[in-house]
């Protein structure tokens, strides 16, 4: 047996031997190997079990299109990455990889039984078989299918690595650094354009790295690639990104790019970034994505050891690895002959080249076949493949021949340990398709190629069907120069005085052409072993034929029914063959069947990359008020309100929520409470038309609001339902201070700006958010005035001079203050507004002054209870977007003499005035200890079972320590006409009897407010 | 009684990131024809060109919109008085002047990697040719709203609403970990 690693050559570093393990077995390799080349160098082809039938599978490709070689790479318990393509996993010393989808082992896998039972698992089997009984779907079928399906396991520990994201802009983005891409980048960079070049591989060069026979400008192709890279790297306006996949093409040339920074390192420094997501806005995009070789579809084409011919050439030239010792090459493309010659020269025995082309008895296609024959290789023409043999590795292939009438005759079986296949090359049009460019069928290429672009984009080289090296280089250079010059013309970048033309002299063997699409001819179309079209999703010719038989005509439907092309490889190797088979089944040309759309990502992208730094504390802004530290130091329990942290309650030792809230509630009513209201939205509305503006927006009348007075305002949507509320104070003739709900601040400002700019641009009025300008300290309770009086200058707090809903400017603790006498508790109350930097100090000053009066800090929970005792609504809790002002008992606020306001016309509709609309009422439970559940439904009669007629729901519900019983607000149909009625709240434990009451439970006359 | 002390937010300074001292900050809004009047009164030209800042004698006017400028000046009694004079001189003409001195704080990012740091979370093209010195704009920084102003080649001035400050500095600090030479 010959060694599989060649004695010399390849781009691996033979001075750096490394080792790795696969399924626990240690193997030797070299730095520069991929997991795939390292395994193949050790004669390992078997790398996984197939998705559905659990058939043994080997490596098929050498690049990102690999459908079979999905592995799990484990660095440690938390760095556990499933479903990596072995062809893209760069080896480092000590790398640990495992195969997937097998149990108990890769060689002996219990799931293989699916293959023998496959007649019961045709395409769409889960739609057909598991329909009955319906209950079994959730409890039995789905769990079983889910555990059987899926590849790899997710890591269970949090990802310890760091990921970053970066926005970037450029004049020209080049995707792919093969010959066309490098030529494009050189030409674009020469114009002085800002250029970004990315390539998914570890090394720039693409096909230049595995064509030793090619020379560019007298330099070996791979060396030319390295020179080109160096030249680009010296240009400060060029960014080069290796190991970087352009995975998504978004509108307006916005490209998602994933860069892998440390995967290839044996021991990345702790804290090093693992991946970076680039979001690139490119003036022009050059797609140089290359082409992917197509497998051939014949019975038993999925045995380990059967791979793409071009992959064998890549493994030989880039990694110095022979994929086997005795090869049969089956091809419809000229390039496979070069592979045969190269492998033969490297010591691989070429048992035969079976060419699908050529008439019976000879007519070898092209001079390459002659060269192969001259090298002593047996070349068969008009060949087909009838089957293969071998258990975990191919050990033979049975060829046949096609006669002039299309009949298939059995031929001989040839022993071999690898079968190399080439059905021609499919241009990689994934990104072009994502960009919504139109694909068109090219008969010469026998594939879809980019047609009309939808974006400022151009495809170059093999991804548009230009395969010959010289052609690809000049295609890329021309596009690069054009893109660079266009960006210069557009003034996007500084012109370079000496743009260098690029016209390389190329000496290279002809690449050749031709293709085969669809299934190879068989004597009995589906008689033999399964012939796979989509390796990764285990879709066979029979599945596609079944779909056609069952009447699926659209390729989009066939795709979904059979799942062909829907695996993580997105059908990179399978789409065109599937299409050809469907087209043949339907009896229409391929071009007429059309191609399904390609979806992002081109190859899978890690969640970490998408998350970037948006984790933990940086996931969302955590907004805190100037008094936050004080509350935290006091042991406040916080709750999230929009992005804000608000103190919910201030428990003392031994207190739970209820005890703390009961104490806080009593303190406010009996003495004085202090509350942080800074998060309330604030908008300063300024201009001579400010009152008119507010009149048109809010339901209230603002013209008659005196300077130094405030009013409770309600904002509706156009449909007449309550959108927001808040106190609005008139600070001057032309200046209003509007407050909004905490969560509604941004929405109200945006609504106001919308109306201002689009509906009433004639008004002289401007809006400024002042939410964060002011720290707001609510001081509430019978002692509030006595607490504040010693601290306040320039305002007389007496009821006569500053009555309820009065406003004024003054000073507190020596700093400027905006003071409102307002109350959301029903008590005498003040809201002290001071510039935010003074918030903490003024709070502390008030708190200190309040000690003599029993001042108590309270949180949002107490605020909720106190306002509910007074029947004050909270927008979003007691309203749900279907509540009118009248429903909420607030029709008194409507400025009836106003010509119009937002929502006014909607309120005139008959249904908005119906007597049976849900109206805000209070509910009192018969048992005062029972606290209703918020959201509970309300029924008219007890003892009903669902479905039952319901007349309302509970919107707010608390235990009231001040009243000694529970209270609730509810929206009940015709509620105000039901006062005194008994209703029932049906709960799982039985009906709760409630009495309908007015929504105000405490100080109904409102005397305390005016104290 | 002792006057309440001013307590601006605190940021841990690095060679490349610092919190700028408190400032006099007002939002001026008004139709274009009032612009010249305001500029004359305050002594700083109000740029007519979009997204341009102009500075004179320590005062800066940042174009934020066709009718909106952010006025920045040192936090001194004289500057507060100057805004008072501006308000007086604009009496009777349509406009709005609103104090936002405590609404937001200013960060300075000073580094030859400043653009890259900012581009972690800001989608704008910060190339010097596209975003030259003197450019200012309201933009996003991840999920925060900021005003970004390039004051020098490698120096950016960020106006950040105070409750978003630690989110913004947290991101900048995290991103800067990849540049050992961020200073």
Residues A779-821: tens digit of each pLDDT: 999 999 999 999 999 999 999 999 999 999 999 999 999 999 9
Confidence of residue A150 (pLDDT cuts 50, 70, 90): low
Range list of β-strands (E), A687-814: 710-716, 722-732, 735-740, 766-769, 774-780, 792-793, 807-812
Instruction: Please name every residue paired with A320 in a beta bridge, in sequence order, or none if there are none.
Output: none
Of A238-242, A381-385, A848-852, B101-105, the range with the lowest mean pLDDT is A381-385
% of chain B with per-residue pLDDT over 90: 94
pLDDT at A526 over 70: no
Cα A887 → chain centroid: 42
Question: Can you read off the two tokens belonging to residue A192?
Answer: 């002085």
Residues A39-62 have a mean pLDDT of 95
pLDDT at B36 over 60: yes
pLDDT at B181 over 50: no
Which pLDDT score is estimated for A597? Answer: 83
Q: Give, as one character, the DSSP assignment of residue A206.
A: G
Residues of chain B positioned with their CB less than 8 A from the CB of A840: 7
Tell if the CB–CB gap between A766 and B95 is shorter than 8 Å: yes
Token look-up 């990764």 returns A536
> Rounded to a whole number, what is the distance in angstroms from the first to the last CA of chain A?
103
Question: Looking at chain A from residue 558 to 577, which residues have their Cβ under 8 Å from any Cβ of chain B?
Answer: none
- The architecture CATH gives domain B17-176: 2-Layer Sandwich (3.30)
Residues of chain B positioned with their CB less than 8 A from the CB of A164: 120, 175, 178
What does the H/E/C string look like for B124-162? CCCCCCCCCCCEEEEEEECCEEEEEEEEECCEEEEEEEH
Which pLDDT score is estimated for A362? Answer: 46
Which pLDDT score is estimated for A143? Answer: 67
pLDDT at A926 over 70: yes
Per CATH, A166-291+427-499 and A295-423+515-525 having the same topology is answered: yes
> How many CA atoms lie within 13 Å of A954's alpha carbon, on the beta-carbon side?
28
**CA A541 to each of CA A67, A139, A165, A581, B130: distance values in angstroms, whole numbers, following the listed order:** 17, 33, 43, 7, 55
d(CA A325, CA A343): 9
Domain extents in chain A: 13-130, 166-291+427-499, 295-423+515-525, 908-1010
d(CA A662, CA B30): 50
Of A39-53, A510-524, A918-932, A975-989, the range with the lowest mean pLDDT is A510-524
Classify domain A908-1010 at the CATH topology level: Elongation Factor Tu (Ef-tu); domain 3 (2.40.30)
CB A972 within 8 A of CB A938: yes
**CA A231 to each of CA A11, A106, A202, A658, A848: distance values in angstroms, whole numbers, following the listed order:** 21, 47, 18, 72, 71
The answer to whether B88 contacts chain A (CB < 8 Å) is no
Tell if the CB–CB gap between A772 and B99 is shorter than 8 Å: no
The answer to whether B96 contacts chain A (CB < 8 Å) is yes
Instruction: Identify the CATH assignment for A13-130 out of 3.10.20.440, 3.20.20.70, 1.20.1250.20, 3.40.30.10.
Output: 3.10.20.440
Which pLDDT score is estimated for A102? Answer: 81
Which among B104, B130, B143 has the least Cβ separation from residue A772?
B104
What pLDDT, in 10s, does the model give residues B129-149?
A: 999 999 999 999 999 999 999
Asked whether the bond before A166 is cis by omega within 30 degrees of 0, the reply is: no
Which pLDDT score is estimated for A108? Answer: 83
pLDDT at A122 over 80: no
Average pLDDT score over chain A: 93
pLDDT at B183 over 50: no
Token look-up 């349509």 returns B94
Which pLDDT score is estimated for A51? Answer: 87
Beta strands A396-402 and A383-389 are antiparallel
d(CA A947, CA A991): 15
Closest CA to A455 of A191, A602, A250, A183: A250
% of chain A with per-residue pLDDT over 70: 95
Average pLDDT score over chain B: 95
Which pLDDT score is estimated for A329? Answer: 98
**CA A604 to each of CA A61, A84, A85, A199, A789: distance values in angstroms, whole numbers, following the listed order:** 17, 9, 10, 15, 66
What pLDDT, in 10s, does the model give residues A606-664?
A: 999 999 999 999 999 999 999 999 999 999 999 999 999 999 999 999 999 999 999 99
Domain extents in chain B: 17-176
d(CA B150, CA B133): 5
Distance to chain A for B136, nearest Cα, Å = 18
Asked whether the bond before A727 is cis by omega within 30 degrees of 0, the reply is: no
Instruction: Identify the CATH assignment for A166-291+427-499 out of 2.40.420.20, 3.30.420.280, 1.20.120.160, 3.50.50.60.
Output: 3.50.50.60
Range list of β-strands (E), A545-697: 637-641, 644-649, 672-676, 681-686
Token look-up 């604009």 returns B90
Which pLDDT score is estimated for B182? Answer: 37
CATH 3.50.50.60 correct for A295-423+515-525? yes
Instruction: Please name every residue paired with B152 in a beta bridge, in sequence order, or none if there are none.
Output: B155
Q: Give, as one character, the DSSP assignment of residue A499.
A: P
Residues A743-770 have a mean pLDDT of 97
Confidence of residue A112 (pLDDT cuts 50, 70, 90): confident
Question: Looking at chain B from residue 53 to 82, which residues have their Cβ under 8 Å from any Cβ of chain A?
Answer: 67-68
Distance to chain A for B96, nearest Cα, Å = 5
Burial of A119 (0-12, 13-18, 19+ CB in 10 A): exposed
pLDDT at A712 over 60: yes
pLDDT at A191 over 60: yes
d(CA A585, CA A563): 17
User: Rounded to 5 degrees, what are φ and ψ at A139?
Assistant: -90, -25
d(CA A304, CA A345): 24
Which pLDDT score is estimated for A417? Answer: 97
d(CA A915, CA A910): 10
Which pLDDT score is estimated for A111? Answer: 77
H or E, element range at A542: helix A541-549
pLDDT at A424 over 60: yes
Treating both helix axes as pointing N-terminal to C-terminal, what angle do A657-670 and A860-869 enclose, rounded to 10 degrees?
60
Question: Looking at chain B from residue 124 to 143, which residues have their Cβ under 8 Å from any Cβ of chain A?
Answer: 124-125, 127, 129-130, 142-143
Which pLDDT score is estimated for A360? Answer: 52
Which pLDDT score is estimated for A152? Answer: 80
H or E, element range at A865: helix A860-869
Which pLDDT score is estimated for A489? Answer: 74
CB B48 within 8 A of CB B35: yes
Residues of chain B positioned with their CB less than 8 A from the CB of A623: 163-164
pLDDT at A116 over 70: yes
DSSP string, A891-913: GGGS-TT-S--TTHHHHTSGGGG
- Give just the sign of the alpha carbon dihedral A193, A197, A290, A534: negative
How wide is the angle at C-alpha A407 spanned by C-alphas A403 and A411, nearest 5°?
A: 70
Which pLDDT score is estimated for A1? Answer: 47
Which pLDDT score is estimated for A361? Answer: 46
**CA A137 to each of CA A148, A238, B155: distance values in angstroms, whole numbers, following the listed order:** 15, 56, 62
Distance to chain A for B100, nearest Cα, Å = 6
- Give just the sign of the alpha carbon dihedral A539, A544, A550, A555: positive
d(CA A474, CA A504): 8
What is chain A's length? 1011
What pLDDT, in 10s, does the model give residues A540-575?
A: 999 999 998 898 888 889 999 999 998 989 899 999
Q: Of A526 and A334, which is predicted with more confidence?
A: A334
Closest CA to A349 of A362, A360, A340: A340
Residues A168-173 have a mean pLDDT of 97
d(CA A167, CA A278): 6
H or E, element range at A448: strand A447-450
The beta-carbon contacts of A640-647 under 8 Å, at least 24 apart in sequence, are A641/A679, A641/A742, A641/A743, A641/A860, A642/A679, A642/A742, A642/A743, A642/A745, A643/B163, A644/A679, A644/A742, A644/B163, A646/A676, A646/A679, A646/A742, A646/A859, A646/A860, A647/A676, A647/A857, A647/A859, A647/A860
| ipTM score above 0.85 | yes
Q: What 3-state class would DSSP assign to A14? A: strand
H or E, element range at A425: strand A425-427
Residues B24-43 have a mean pLDDT of 95
Inter-chain CB pairs, A–B, below 8 Å: 138
Tell if the CB–CB gap between B162 and A772 is shorter than 8 Å: yes
% of chain A with per-residue pLDDT over 90: 83
The answer to whether A835 contacts chain B (CB < 8 Å) is yes
What does the H/E/C string look like for A912-976? HHCCCCEEEEEEEECCCCCCCCCCCEEECCCCCCCCCCCCEEEEEEEEECCCCEEEEEEEEECHH
CB A774 within 8 A of CB A673: no
Which pLDDT score is estimated for A120? Answer: 67
CB A723 within 8 A of CB A744: yes
**CA A542 to each of CA A183, A410, A519, A539: distance values in angstroms, whole numbers, following the listed order:** 44, 21, 11, 8
CB A424 within 8 A of CB A515: yes
The strands making up B144-152's β-sheet, listed across from edge to edge, are B17-19, B104-110, B155-161, B144-152, B136-141
d(CA A888, CA A415): 87
d(CA B102, CA A770): 9
Neighbouring C-beta atoms of residue A500, cutoff 10 Å: 12
Tell if the CB–CB gap between B7 and A770 is shorter than 8 Å: no
Tell if the CB–CB gap between A836 and B30 is shorter than 8 Å: no
d(CA A44, CA A393): 9
pLDDT at A130 over 60: no
> How many CA atoms lie within 13 Å of B74's alpha carbon, on the beta-carbon side?
6
């Amino acid at each position: 047996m010959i060694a599989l690693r060649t004695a010399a050559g390849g781009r691996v570093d033979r001075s750096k031997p490394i080792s790795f393990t696969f399924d626990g077995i240690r193997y030797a390799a070299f730095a520069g190997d991929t997991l795939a080349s390292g395994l193949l160098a050790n004669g390992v082809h078997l790398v996984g079990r197939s998705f559905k039938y659990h058939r043994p599978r080997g490596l098929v490709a050498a690049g990102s299109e690999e459908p079979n070689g999905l592995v799990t790479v484990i660095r440690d318990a938390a760095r556990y990455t499933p479903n990596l393509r072995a062809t893209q996993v760069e080896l480092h010393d000590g790398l640990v990889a495992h195969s997937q989808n097998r149990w108990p082992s890769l060689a002996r896998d219990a799931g293989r039984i699916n293959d023998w039972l496959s007649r019961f698992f045709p395409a769409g089997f889960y739609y057909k078989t598991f329909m009955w009984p319906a209950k079994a779907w959730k409890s039995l079928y789905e769990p079983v299918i889910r555990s059987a399906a899926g590849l790899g396991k997710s890591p269970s520990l949090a990802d310890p690595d760091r990921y970053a994201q970066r926005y970037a802009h450029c004049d020209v983005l080049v995707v792919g650094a093969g010959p066309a891409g490098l030529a494009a980048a050189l030409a674009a960079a020469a114009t002085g354009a800002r250029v970004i070049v990315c390539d998914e591989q570890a090394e720039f060069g693409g096909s230049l790295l595995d064509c030793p026979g090619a020379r560019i400008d007298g330099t070996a192709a791979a060396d030319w690639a390295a020179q080109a890279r160096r030249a680009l790297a010296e240009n400060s306006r060029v960014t080069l990104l290796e190991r970087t996949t352009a995975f998504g093409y978004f509108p307006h040339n916005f490209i998602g790019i994933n860069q892998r920074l440390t995967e290839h390192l044996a021991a990345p420094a702790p804290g090093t970034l693992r991946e970076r997501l680039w979001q690139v806005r490119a003036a022009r995009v050059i797609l140089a994505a290359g082409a992917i070789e197509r497998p051939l579809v014949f019975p038993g084409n999925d045995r380990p050891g059967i791979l793409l011919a071009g992959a064998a050439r890549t493994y030989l030239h880039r990694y110095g690895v022979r994929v086997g010792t005795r090869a049969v090459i089956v091809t419809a493309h000229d390039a496979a002959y070069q592979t045969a010659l190269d492998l033969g020269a490297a010591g691989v025995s070429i048992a035969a080249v079976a060419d699908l082309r050529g008439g019976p008895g000879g007519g070898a296609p092209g001079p390459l076949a002659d060269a192969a024959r001259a090298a002593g290789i047996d070349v068969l023409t008009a060949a087909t493949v009838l089957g293969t043999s071998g258990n975990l590795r191919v050990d033979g292939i049975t060829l046949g021949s096609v006669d002039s009438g299309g009949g298939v005759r059995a031929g001989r079986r040839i022993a071999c340990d690898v079968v190399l296949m080439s059905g021609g090359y499919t241009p990689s049009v994934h990104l072009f398709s994502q960009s919504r460019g139109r694909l068109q069928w090219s008969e010469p290429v026998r594939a879809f190629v980019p047609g009309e672009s939808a974006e400022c984009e151009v495809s170059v080289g093999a991804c548009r069907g230009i395969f010959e090296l010289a052609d690809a280089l000049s295609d890329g250079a021309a596009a690069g120069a054009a893109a660079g010059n266009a960006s210069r013309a557009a003034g996007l970048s500084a012109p370079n005085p000496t743009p260098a033309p690029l016209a390389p002299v190329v000496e290279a063997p002809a690449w050749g052409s031709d293709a085969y699409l669809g299934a190879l001819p068989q004597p009995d179309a589906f008689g033999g072993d399964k012939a796979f079209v989509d390796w990764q999703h285990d879709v066979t010719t029979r599945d596609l034929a079944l779909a056609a038989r069952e009447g699926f005509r659209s390729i989009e439907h066939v795709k979904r029914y059979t799942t062909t092309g829907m695996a993580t490889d997105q059908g990179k190797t399978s789409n065109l063959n599937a299409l050809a088979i469907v087209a043949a089944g339907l009896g229409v040309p391929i071009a007429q069947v059309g191609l399904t759309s390609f979806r992002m990502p081109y190859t899978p992208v890690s969640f970490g990359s998408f998350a970037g730094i948006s984790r933990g504390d940086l996931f969302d802004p955590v907004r805190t008020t100037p008094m936050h530290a004080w509350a935290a130091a006091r042991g406040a329990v916080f709750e999230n309100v929009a992005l804000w942290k608000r103190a919910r309650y201030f428990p003392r030792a031994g207190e739970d929520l209820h005890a703390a809230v009961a104490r806080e509630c009593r303190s406010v009513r009996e003495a004085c409470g202090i509350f942080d209201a800074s998060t309330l939205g604030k908008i300063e509305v300024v201009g001579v038309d400010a009152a008119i503006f507010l009149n048109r927006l809010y339901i209230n009348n603002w013209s008659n609001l005196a300077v130094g007075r405030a009013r409770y305002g309600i904002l509706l949507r156009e449909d007449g339902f309550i959108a927001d509320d808040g106190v609005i104070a008139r600070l001057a003739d032309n200046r209003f201070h509007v407050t909004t709900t905490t969560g509604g601040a941004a929405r109200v400002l945006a609504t106001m700006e919308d109306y201002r700019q689009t509906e009433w641009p004639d008004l002289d009025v401007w809006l400024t958010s002042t939410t964060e300008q002011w720290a707001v300290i609510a001081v509430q309770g019978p002692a509030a005035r006595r607490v504040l009086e010693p601290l306040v200058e320039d305002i007389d707090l007496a009821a006569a001079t500053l009555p309820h809903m009065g406003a004024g400017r003054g000073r507190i603790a020596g700093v400027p203050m905006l003071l409102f006498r307002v109350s959301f508790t029903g008590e005498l109350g003040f809201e002290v507004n001071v510039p935010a930097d003074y918030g903490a100090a003024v709070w502390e000053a008030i708190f200190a002054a309040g000690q003599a009066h029993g001042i108590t800090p309270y949180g949002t929970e107490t605020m909720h209870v106190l306002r509910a005792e007074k029947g004050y609504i909270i927008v979003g809790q007691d309203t749900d977007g279907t509540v009118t002002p009248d429903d909420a008992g607030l029709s008194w606020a409507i400025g009836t003499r106003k010509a119009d306001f937002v929502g006014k016309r909607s309120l005139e509709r008959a249904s908005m005035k119906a007597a049976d609309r849900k109206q805000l009422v209070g509910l009192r439970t018969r048992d005062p200890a029972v606290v209703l559940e918020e959201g509970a439904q309300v029924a008219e009669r007890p003892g009903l079972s669902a479905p039952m007629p319901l007349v309302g729901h509970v919107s707010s519900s608390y235990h009231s320590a001040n009243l000694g019983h529970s209270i609730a607000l509810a929206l009940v149909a015709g509620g105000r006409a039901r006062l005194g009625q008994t209703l029932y709240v049906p709960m799982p434990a039985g009906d709760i009897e409630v009495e309908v009451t007015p929504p105000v439970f405490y100080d109904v006359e409102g005397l305390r407010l005016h104290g | 009684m002792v006057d309440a002390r001013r307590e601006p937010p605190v940021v841990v300074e690095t060679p490349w990131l610092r919190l700028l001292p408190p400032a006099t900050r007002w939002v001026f809004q008004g139709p274009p024809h009032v612009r010249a009047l305001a500029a004359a009164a305050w002594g700083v030209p109000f740029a007519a060109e979009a997204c341009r800042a102009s500075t004179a004698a320590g005062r800066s006017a940042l174009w934020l919109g066709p009718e909106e400028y952010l006025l920045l000046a040192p936090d001194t009694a004289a500057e507060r008085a100057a805004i008072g004079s501006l308000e007086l001189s604009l009496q009777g003409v349509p406009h709005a002047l609103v104090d936002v001195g405590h609404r937001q704080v200013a960060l300075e990012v000073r580094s030859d990697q400043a653009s890259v740091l900012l581009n972690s979370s800001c989608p704008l093209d910060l190339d010097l040719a596209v975003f030259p010195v003197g450019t200012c704009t309201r933009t996003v920084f991840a999920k925060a709203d900021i005003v970004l102003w390039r004051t020098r080649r490698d120096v950016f001035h960020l106006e950040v609403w105070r409750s978003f400050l630690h989110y913004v500095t947290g991101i900048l600090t995290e991103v800067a970990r990849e540049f050992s030479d961020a200073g």
